[in-house]
Amino acid sequence: MENRVAGMSVLVVDDEQDIRDGSERILSRMGCQVLTAAQGEEALQILTEETVSIVLLDMKMPGMDGIEVLTRIREINEEILVIVITGYATVETAIEAMKQGAYDFISKPFEPDQLRIVVNRALEKLRLTREAESLEEERRRTLSDLDTEKSRTRTIIESLPNALVVTNAHGRVVLTNPAFRQLFDLSTDRGPGDQIEDYIPDKGLCNLVMEISQGKHIDYDDIPACEFTLPNEKYLLARGQPVVGERNECLGAVVNLVDITAMKALDQLKSDFVAKVSHELRSPLSTIHQQLAFVLSDMVGQASESDQHIISRAKEKTEGLISLIGDLLDLSRIEEGIVSREPKPVKLEEVLKGVVDFLGAKAKGRNQSLVLQLPTNPLPSLTADPLALESIFGNLITNAINYTRNGGKIRVKADLAGVNIRVEVADNGFGIEAKYLDQIFERFYRVKNEKTRYITGTGLGLTIVKGLIDSLGGFIEVESTPGKGSIFTVLLPVKRPEATG
Ligand code: ADP
């Protein structure tokens, strides 16, 4: 009750003092704020100054008559509920008043309970009206919020510089943005509705979109991506994500396409630059190296020990630089895809024998045993560039020698494993901690610890190895136990898969 009447004020208009006083008492007890007026004019004056919700209006008063007061009240504020007080069963007046817009009536004389009932009814009506109004307001606000949200999202999608396409679970396009339409030269009025392949000419991308749309990536955290080229030489990177419904079902895919042409050009520029600089540095460095070797051999027995030491350090450093430049040039060639452009049939046994022979001296110098195990049946020929194979196994065996203590053991074993030739290069050297195993194939990455600190290297060897193996359609993996040794296993397909050719 308290809440319902809180803030509700009732104006009692009656020329009879007793009625005014009695009503005021009853209504105040109900929690209403009560104002009183003895005449119509006075009541109208109050209404212009105060906010009143309900008026109890006597129809028969001296001065302005009740019906007129009622009409004027309605003119001031239609929402005020007027309950007319009619004298001694004058039903006609009540009917007339109701016609003029009165909400209810009560006949004189009335009991307190009758007044309470009629005022309570009016209060209830006011409460319901207010509630309906606030519900309506809320609904209007929610609708307008939704509308604003929708329009905001639409604007964001429309103004994105990246191309965006959304598909449903069947791979049918449901939304594209202007950047997408521009990228694929679609007319501005080309709407959604068709299958993804009708918009995008790249098969790889279409497969990716279909896979995502059908929910194949739903349980994985990774964002599936693919790179592709458009006929106009544009490079694009596509990243997609599934749209997941309430029951974890896939509703479709959102694919975001970024133009990476500039990045590719920059990468190419950087590779060209490195290749050019390396090329230019190679011959003067080789000359310096030769001259140092010459000076050093001339100095034998003549120069002081410290001078000889300085020159031999300089010679070592130039050797290191020459090897770095060699690696950089190899890497540029691999990136250009030049290495395996002219493959021919190669007997891997011969290549391995050559490399093991060549590096045998180095291993011997460190008291290490370097053993090559070949199968009794000859291995099938590989179609590859022999220099690439030499470089792969030369690097792996050199590493095995370098990262194994003096007197250690290195074993190179080749055999046939299904459709692949498998070569294992195993050592009982320092080993590699598991956390570094992925990184050792990255450019310039070298594991730094007490054991490896004094071993010189460029950190490019395994990058070259991996690049070459990739270009041959092969695979490399490493198992290692710190303190016990490492096994690098290379798998090379006897028949090259076409895609990698
Ligand atoms: P580099 O030998 O010039 O440092 P690599 O790319 O060939 O560069 O090798 C990267 C790193 O991997 C090496 O620095 C070394 O820490 C680690 N590594 C490679 N081969 C072995 C091995 N057989 N045993 C232990 N560590 C190795």
What separation in Å is there between the alpha carbon of 447 and the centre of ligand 1? Answer: 7
Instruction: Tell whether ligand 1 has an atom less than 6 A from the beta carbon of residue 391.
Output: no
Q: Do the domains 2-140 and 344-493 sit in the same CATH topology, yes or no?
A: no
Q: Which numbered atom of ligand 1 lies nearest the CA of 441?
A: 6
For the segment 311-330, the average pLDDT, to the nearest whole number, is: 85
Domain 344-493: which topology? Heat Shock Protein 90 (3.30.565)
370 or 159: which leads in pLDDT: 370
Determine how β-strand 163-168 pairs with β-strand 173-176: antiparallel
Nearest to 359 by CA among 319, 312, 391: 391
Query: Using an 8 Å Cβ cutoff, are 339 and 388 in contact?
Result: yes
Count of C-beta atoms within a 10 Å radius of residue 430: 22
Any idea which of 39-53, 316-330, 368-382, 483-497 has the lowest mean pLDDT? 316-330
Percent of the chain, pLDDT > 90?
48
User: For position 88, what pLDDT does the model report?
Assistant: 62
Handedness of CA 66, 67, 70, 71 (dihedral sign): negative
Instruction: Tell whether ligand 1 has an atom less than 6 A from the beta carbon of residue 457.
Output: yes
DSSP for 36-48, written as a single string: EESSHHHHHHHHH
What separation in Å is there between the alpha carbon of 399 and the centre of ligand 1? Answer: 6
User: For position 274, what pLDDT does the model report?
Assistant: 83
Question: Does the pLDDT value for residue 51 go beyond 50?
Answer: yes
Residue 264 to residue 421: CA distance in whole angstroms: 34
DSSP for 57-86, written as a single string: EES--SSS-HHHHHHHHHHH-TTSEEEEEE
Query: CA angle, corner 291, sides to 288 and 296, nearest 5?
Result: 125
Nearest to 412 by CA among 470, 370, 473: 370
pLDDT in tens, 54-99: 999 998 888 888 899 999 999 999 899 999 998 765 778 888 888 8
Query: Which two three-digit tokens encode residue 82?
Result: 């007027």
pLDDT in tens, 131-178: 999 999 999 888 888 888 888 888 988 888 899 999 998 889 999 999
Residue 370 to residue 359: CA distance in whole angstroms: 9
Instruction: Tell whether ligand 1 has an atom less than 6 A from the beta carbon of residue 440.
Output: yes
Query: Which two three-digit tokens encode residue 38?
Result: 């003895």
What separation in Å is there between the alpha carbon of 446 and the centre of ligand 1? Answer: 6
Instruction: Tell whether ligand 1 has an atom less than 6 A from the beta carbon of residue 458.
Output: yes
Query: Using an 8 Å Cβ cutoff, are 467 and 440 in contact?
Result: no
Q: What is the CATH number of domain 160-259?
A: 3.30.450.20
Instruction: Tell whether ligand 1 has an atom less than 6 A from the beta carbon of residue 69.
Output: no
User: Where exactly are the structural domains of the chain?
Assistant: 2-140, 160-259, 263-335, 344-493
User: For position 248, what pLDDT does the model report?
Assistant: 84
Across the beta sheet with 420-427, the strand order is: 369-373, 409-417, 420-427, 485-493, 475-481
pLDDT in tens, 11-32: 999 999 999 999 999 999 999 9
190 or 136: which leads in pLDDT: 136
For the segment 104-113, the average pLDDT, to the nearest whole number, is: 90
User: How would residue 501 be classed by pLDDT, with cut points 50, 70 and 90?
Assistant: very low
For the segment 470-475, the average pLDDT, to the nearest whole number, is: 91
Does residue 212 sit in helix, strand or coil?
Answer: helix
Instruction: Tell whether ligand 1 has an atom less than 6 A from the beta carbon of residue 327.
Output: no
Domain 2-140: which CATH class? alpha beta
Query: Using an 8 Å Cβ cutoff, are 34 and 19 in contact?
Result: no
